[in-house]
C-alpha cells in the first residue's frame, strides 16, 4: 500500500516475499484480514465511477447489507440513520502497467464490478479521506 503511506518506511507489501509466478505477496488468512480491517461488510456494488485521468482512483459505491465488523462512514449519514442509502465509497487501487500496457508483476486491483454481491475488508485512508481495500485477497463474491 505504498501509494497511501507518506512516511519513508517500507510497507509490508514491499518487504514480504513474492510469488514467483504472480509476483503477489502472500495472501492473508481470514483471521488476519478480520483483525486488520477497520470495516468488514457484505453488500452489493451499486456503481463504479471511472476516474477521468490515469492517476486518480476509481470509486466503487457499495450498498452495505450487513456489517460484520466496524462502524461504516456512510456517504449520506442522515439517510443511513433512517435506513435509506447505506452507501460507502471505496477508492479502488490502480494497477501499475509497463510502457506496453501490460500489468506489472505483483500488481492487483480490487476486482469490484457493478451488480456484484461481495464481502470485503476495508480500512479508512486518512490521506485520501475514504475507504480502501485492505489486501489483494480481501474481496470475494457472495451468493445472491
Q: Which residue has the higher pLDDT, 4 or 108?
A: 108
> Per DSSP, what are the bridge partners of residue 49?
59
By C-alpha distance, which of 134, 128, 122 is closest to 25? 134
Per-residue pLDDT averaged across 89-110, rounded? 75
Which of residues 113 and 144 earns the better pLDDT score? 113
pLDDT at 15: 59
Q: Which pLDDT value is given to residue 35? A: 95
Q: Average pLDDT, stretch 107-125?
A: 85
pTM (2 decimals)? 0.77
Question: What is the per-residue burial (b if ≥16 Cβ within 10 Å, else e) of 52-65?
Answer: eeeeebbbbbbebe
Average of per-residue pLDDT across 113-129: 88
Per-residue pLDDT tens digits for 51-76: 887 777 788 999 999 999 999 988 88
Going from N- to C-terminal start, the domains of the chain cover: 39-96+108-139
Average pLDDT over residues 38-58: 87
Average pLDDT over residues 97-118: 78
Q: What is the pLDDT of residue 2?
A: 43
Q: What percent of the chain has pLDDT over 70?
A: 80
Amino acid at each position: 500500500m505504498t501509494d497511501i503511506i507518506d512516511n519513508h518506511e517500507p510497507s509490508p507489501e514491499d518487504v514480504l516475499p513474492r510469488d514467483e509466478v504472480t509476483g503477489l505477496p502472500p495472501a492473508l488468512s481470514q483471521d488476519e484480514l478480520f483483525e486488520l480491517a477497520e470495516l468488514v461488510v457484505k453488500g452489493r456494488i451499486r456503481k463504479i465511477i471511472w476516474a477521468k485521468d490515469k492517476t486518480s482512483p476509481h470509486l466503487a459505491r457499495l450498498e452495505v447489507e450487513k456489517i460484520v465488523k466496524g462502524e461504516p462512514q456512510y456517504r449520506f449519514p442522515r439517510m443511513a440513520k433512517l435506513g435509506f442509502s447505506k452507501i460507502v465509497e471505496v477508492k479502488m487501487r490502480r494497477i501499475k502497467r509497463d510502457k506496453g500496457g501490460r500489468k506489472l508483476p505483483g500488481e492487483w486491483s480490487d476486482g469490484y464490478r457493478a451488480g456484484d454481491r461481495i464481502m470485503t475488508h476495508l480500512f479508512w485512508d486518512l490521506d485520501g479521506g475514504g475507504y480502501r481495500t485492505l489486501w489483494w485477497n480481501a474481496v470475494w463474491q457472495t451468493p445472491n
